[in-house]
Structure 1
Amino acid sequence: MRTTMNKVLVEIFLPAANRSFDVYLPLESQMSEVLQLVSALLSDLSDGKYKATKSAVLCDATSGIIYNINMAVAELGIQNGSKLMLI
């Protein structure tokens, strides 16, 4: 049994609201599932400045590389302190 923590704390920048949010992501979850949950969450937290849509993408905030939604968070190399962007 693994005793490592199964979540990572990341910073997600939301250009539509010009704000960043700290969010815990489960390492084992598929990015497609994480994207839906994060979209809905930030839609609520942004006071309507961001509307969750089916076309939303999560990308690396530094490189702009879009994350593959068919991979798990851990497989993508996302770790504590990673900076993501939701567009």
Structure 2
Amino acid sequence: MNKVLVEIFLPAANQSFDVYIPLESRMSEVLVLVSSLLSDLSDGKYKATQDAVLCDAETGIIFNINMTVFELGIKNGSKLMLI
């Protein structure tokens, strides 16, 4: 499985985390995995919910959850934000 290393900023915890995400997965799947993971890593500062969204940290554009990571052009070093 091909993966990319991205930095995900979590405003609720004011922290960034480096996470590997699979290129072939749809963003909807990645969102569930990442929000659960960061909920654990943030020591309770962030609680995973159904309303969470992943967006580009630099532009603020929300990613289409029906597209794959590859289709969205996410690559090694991309900066994302989980809100």
> Residue deviations 1:16-69, cap 9 Å, x none?
000000000100000000000000000000000000000000000000000000
Q: Does 1:55 align with 2:51?
A: yes
* Aligned residue in 2 for 1:37: 33
* Aligned residue in 2 for 1:84: 80
TM-score after normalising by structure 1: 0.94
Q: Which runs of 5+ in 2 are unaligned?
A: none
Tell me how large the CA RMSD over aligned residues is: 0.8
TM-score after normalising by structure 2: 0.99
Q: Which runs of 5+ in 1 are unaligned?
A: none
Higher Rg: 1
Deviation at 1:80, TM superposition (A): 0.2
Residue identity (%): 84
Deviation at 1:72, TM superposition (A): 0.3
